[in-house]
Every structure is written in structure tokens, then in C-alpha cells.
Amino acid sequence: MENIQFAERMGSIRTSVVRELAKYLSDPEVISFSGGNPANSSFPVEQVDEITHDLLMTKGRQLLQYGTTSGYKPLIEAYIEHIAAPKGLAVSEDHVITLTGSMQGLDLLCKVLLNPGDTVLVEAPTFAGALNVFRIYQANIVSVDMDDEGIMVDQLEEIFKTQSPKLFYCIPTFQNPTGKTLGLERRKSIAELAYKYNVIVIEDDPYGDLRFSGEAVPPIKIFDPDDRIIYLNSFSKILSPGLRVATMLGNPEILKKACVAKQSCDTHTANLNQAIAAEFLNRGLLPGHLAKILPPYKVQLDTMLKAMDDHFPSCCSYTRPEGGLFIWGEFQKDINMTDMMYKAIQEEKVAFVPGQTYFVGDTQKRAGTFRLNFSNATVDQINDGIRRLGRLFREVIAE
């Protein structure tokens, strides 16, 4: 079959640099700081095995049968009790549906809320995967800048006022790609501005529970009496991404419509997977699991920051996150980081992601930025890889 005519909406998609990188990463000598996966060692395999066996033996036939689109009820209850309520979100069950990964939440919300040309506001930089969802729905994507403390609220208000975005998408805690966490006052301001300018906010929080130090900050969602903030949580970083289980909490009217759309996407999220997540929470395993996986992540983060302090040139600044999976770097000089990425892989056998991937447009200002992931390398690999990367950076800077 020749000349297949694809839909117009697919024309705007960009292929992910992270996926392009995949072919180089099969080389076992390459040290990769490019992905965003949780550490393989973090998965509670034995607990999942025990839970799964118990579930199949007690309600196997129910779990292997079709389930309800809005979600497996015991998971919705367990999520509210063990995750949402402790964050200050003790909502009723009609405020939560389950998802096949939180990416699905973005897809469903776009499907039920966006007409082509509607404006979606994102942070600059933001999660590249989210940008592709908004592109598929042919949104007019605009972005708000961040300073060291995250979203710049004055600029946000200006954009809310002049561009009337339908949706504002943000990751306020340990943001991907920057690792930045928004303070309490800015969170309150965002909620107030969303109300004032009639914007629906998607608050994506996959990393919030990966806090290694400092005090937890509550979700923006708790400052939302008007029920216009939709809060996404995922089991991908605290239990397993391979199970594809996440939750969406918010306005029941929007969730009901999202369920209608979900019915026509994947009918429902796999029951067994939802039941595993529910049991993991109900058996009280999450706190112990986090207590086990967070210290190694902290060691990896601290090792990387120390190595960067030691080896990176002084014209390179970077974030010092208290959690999450990412560090964000920025050169004060105009450097093409995509070229640098290929050089790093070929000459130094180290991989990272150039920052442009995470911006809507391609401006010069953003050329000198990059993202590093610390969760998938050993301490030795981190020390070695950052030393090599520092050597390359110094060389290129000196040119």
C-alpha cells in the first residue's frame, strides 16, 4: 500500500530524543544519565509475587473478568486512604478514577476538553511526553518561564489574562526535567489565578513521594475549593511502571466524561494490576518500601552533585533537588547540546538529554541546557560518567 494518508493531527509529533538515543544505549560501555526509569533494584518483586498469588487464589475469576471503566473500587478506596488523604485530599470516591499510567490521564483530559486550536499552557521546560499529547490534540501550546523556585507567577497571570488557556499543565514537585519544587506561596497563587481566570489545571505529581530530604509541600490541589485542579498520581515511581497503574483525582463531572472516553480507549485498566497496587497499600507496605528505596536514590543524587561540583566548568550551573529523578544543568554560554550529546556518546561513552527536547519552541537561550538522571547508574558509574562529561564540557568550553 502506497501513499498512506495519515491524519493531520499526527503531523506535529516529534520523535523523542530519548528514544533516538536507545540504539546507542545498547552498548554496555555507555553510561546513561538519559532515561527516566526508576532503578531496577527498587522493585518489590517478592511482595508483588506474594500479593499476586493471594489475589489470584481468593478472587482470581473476578480479576480475570472485565472490570469497570472508572476503576477497581478497592484501589480507589486504598488510594484515598493511603495516598490522597495524607496529602490533605480526603475526597469521596466519585472524585477518583484509575488510569493505565498517568499519561492516559493527559490523553483523556485532552480528548474531553480540547478543541483544535485551544491554548494549553505548560512550564518551560516541561515533560516532553506531555508536549506530544498536546500536539496530537492540535493545541496551541504556550509556555511560562521558571526561575530558581519554579513557575514565575507574574508571567503566569499575564498569560492567563491575555491568552485565556483552557488548560495549564504543571509538575510542581521535583519537576521533570528540572527537579525544581514550587513553594507553598506560589502554589496558593496558582490556585487563585486559575479560579480568577477560569483555567483548568492539570497537576501531575509522579515524583512527590520520592523525597530524600527537606519538608513535603502539599499539592496545589488542596487550595482548590472550586474543584478545577485535576491531580494525577502514579504507581510507576513508587511501585512499578511496568504494571501501568495511576490515578486521577478531581471534578466528578470531568472524571465522568473522561470515563466515557476511557471506555472507548482501553475499556478499563487491567484488574489484576489495580488489585496488586491496592493490596500493596492495604497491607501497609508503601512506607517501608519508600524507606528502603529512598536512601539509595539519595546516595546517587548526592554522588552526582558532588561529582558535578568537582568536574563541571564553573560556567555550568545546575539544580540541587531534594528528590525525584532529575538534575537540570544550564550553561551561561550558547552551546548546542544536541551536538554535545552525540560527542559525549561517541567520545566519552556517556549519555544525557539535551534541554531543547523539553521546550515548546527552539530558542537560542535554551540551547545550553541539559537533563541528567541519577537513578539508573551505580555510584561508580556516576563518578566515572560525570568525570568524563566534565572533561568534555571543559574541552568544548575552551574551544
Minimum Å gap between C-beta 278 and a copy of itself is 14
270 is a site residue for a copy of itself (CB under 8 A): yes
230 SS3 class: strand
Minimum distance, C-beta of residue 19 to a copy of itself, in the bound complex (Å): 8
> Of 177 and 329, which has the nearer Cβ to a copy of itself?
177
Of residues 240 through 259, those in contact with a copy of itself by CB under 8 A are 240-244, 251, 253-254, 257
Shortest Cβ distance from residue 314 to a copy of itself (Å)? 36
Cβ-contact 330, 179 below 8 angstroms: no
Measured from the CB atom, the residue of 7 and 291 that comes closer to a copy of itself is: 7
Closest approach, Cβ 47 to a copy of itself, in A, equals: 10
| Residue in 20, 88, 260, 284 binding a copy of itself, rule: CB under 8 A | 260
Any contact of residue 115 with a copy of itself (CB under 8 A)?
Answer: yes
**Is 281 among the residues that bind a copy of itself (CB under 8 A)?**
no
Interface stretch with a copy of itself, choices 84-92, 126-134, 148-156, 301-309 (CB under 8 A):
126-134
Provide the residue type at 105 as one letter: G
**Is residue 226 within the footprint of a copy of itself (CB under 8 A)?**
yes
* Residue 49 vs 94, nearer CB to a copy of itself: 49
Give min distance, CB of 35 to a copy of itself, in A.
8
Q: Residues in contact with a copy of itself, total (CB under 8 A)?
A: 74
Residues 47 and 285: beta-carbon distance below 8 Å: yes
- Residue 33 carries which side chain, given as an amino acid letter? F
Q: Dihedral through CA 281, CA 285, CA 288, CA 292, nearest 10?
A: -100
In angstroms, give the least distance from the CB of 69 to a copy of itself: 9
Regarding 28 and contact with a copy of itself (CB under 8 A), the answer is no
**20 scored as a contact of a copy of itself (CB under 8 A):** no
Stretch that binds a copy of itself, among 209-217, 234-242, 287-295, 309-317 (CB under 8 A): 234-242
Residues numbered 39-98 forming contacts with a copy of itself, rule: CB under 8 A: 40-41, 43, 45, 48-49, 52-53, 56-57, 60-67
| Least distance between a copy of itself and beta carbon 12 (Å) | 11
Q: Which of 37, 140, 282, 381 binds a copy of itself (CB under 8 A)?
A: 37
DSSP 92-142: -GGGEEEESSHHHHHHHHHHHHPPTT-EEEEEES--HHHHHHHHHTT-EEE
Sheet holding 326-331, edge to edge: 316-318, 326-331, 369-373, 353-354
Phi, psi of 251 (to 5 degrees): -50, 120
Query: If 0-12 CB within 10 Å is exposed, 13-18 middle and 19+ buried, where does residue 268 land?
Result: buried
Residue 221: which of 90, 310, 313, 337 has the closest Cα?
Answer: 90
Distances (CA, A) of 345 to 38, 141, 303, 338, 339: 22, 32, 21, 11, 10
Query: How do strand 369-373 and strand 350-351 relate by DSSP bridges?
Result: unpaired
Per CB under 8 A, the segment of 112-120, 279-287, 325-333, 391-399 that binds a copy of itself is 112-120
Q: Counting contacts by CB under 8 A, is residue 269 touching a copy of itself?
A: yes
**At 370, which amino acid appears?**
F
| DSSP at 323 | B
Q: What mask of x and - would describe binding to a copy of itself in positions 127 to 166, judged by CB under 8 A? A: --x--xx--x-----------------------------x
CA-CA distances (angstroms) from residue 298 to 43, 150, 302, 383?
Answer: 17, 22, 6, 14
CA 234 to chain centre: 9
Among the candidate windows 110-118, 139-147, 305-313, 366-374, which touches a copy of itself by CB under 8 A? 110-118
If the CB atoms of residues 277 and 308 are measured against a copy of itself, the closer one turns out to be 277
Question: By C-alpha distance, which of 385, 237, 361 is closest to 311?
Answer: 385
The H-assigned helical ranges of the chain are 17-25, 45-64, 73-79, 102-113, 128-136, 153-163, 184-196, 252-263, 271-282, 285-311, 337-343, 379-398
Residues 200-219, interacting with a copy of itself (CB under 8 A)? 200
Considering only residues 21, 78, 91, 114, which one is a binding residue for a copy of itself as defined by CB under 8 A? 114
> Which residue in 157, 227, 302, 384 binds a copy of itself (CB under 8 A)?
227
- Cα–Cα distances in angstroms (integers) from residue 342 to residues 308, 338, 369, in the given order: 20, 7, 15
* Per CB under 8 A, 173 contacts a copy of itself: no
